[in-house]
Amino acid sequence: MKLKLTIEYAGTRYSGWQVQKNARTIQGEIQAAIRETGAQRFEIYGSGRTDAGVHALAQVAHLDIDSSLPPDTLRRRINDNLPADINVLRIERVRHRFHARHDAVARSYLYQIARRRTAFGKAYVWWVKDALDLGAMRLTAARFVGMHDFQAFSDDDPDEKSTQALVDTLDLHERGDLLLVHIEGSHFLWKMVRRLVGVLVEVGRGGLDVDAAAALLEGPSPLPARLTAPASGLFLERVYYPGDPRHLPVEPFLALRPYA
């Protein structure tokens, strides 16, 4: 039986999605929870990896499992065995050839920047103390939309895999004292989103102008790596498959109301 799992998690306590030796990971916790249901033979594959400390609002995985339990019963039993910061939202039967990663047609990420100190949301935002020029940040974001070589924004080796990626949208939204960076595209390279956010913030601070930021697409540069935004503010928002609605409303993970 092949099942599609939609999963939310807070990544703060974990070393990313993928199973690693001597480290707690999201995939490792889910596998342990599935074993607790009595399943002996199964394999689970995620739509992609998230790094240490990165969160997910709707990660997708597929599960090949030999089980007679109805999907929703299996979901409840898995959740009973998971820590509180990982939750399986849905389990549904899918066709035998469905693959969570290979069948995905797009992904979107949300990055939350706090413009004030917060007592409650520290694990889910990057607090930027400096005033930010949103106009300059939006002009820069527009330069990154389209098909580009994002080699300077990733640790992926261009000799081993392509560093080209299509960014469909890269927008900034204000929600109270939160600034939301929303990006949607075909796929994303390792650390690409956090480095894009870091460059946008540096432009907003006045440390980099729009043209200099756009020029980072022209070849290798150490600057984006130095400006990498913290993992705490990043959420895998959605994974899209053929027929899924696109460009859905952008909603913050938490409310951060302005000071009175």
Known catalytic residues are 51
CA atoms of 63 and 71, how far apart (whole Å): 11
- Report the DSSP beta bridge partners of residue 26: none
* Rounded Cα distance, 151 and 34, in Å: 38
Burial class (CB in 10 A: 0-12, 13-18, 19+), 183: buried
10: alpha, beta or left? (left if phi > 0; alpha if psi -120 to 50)? beta
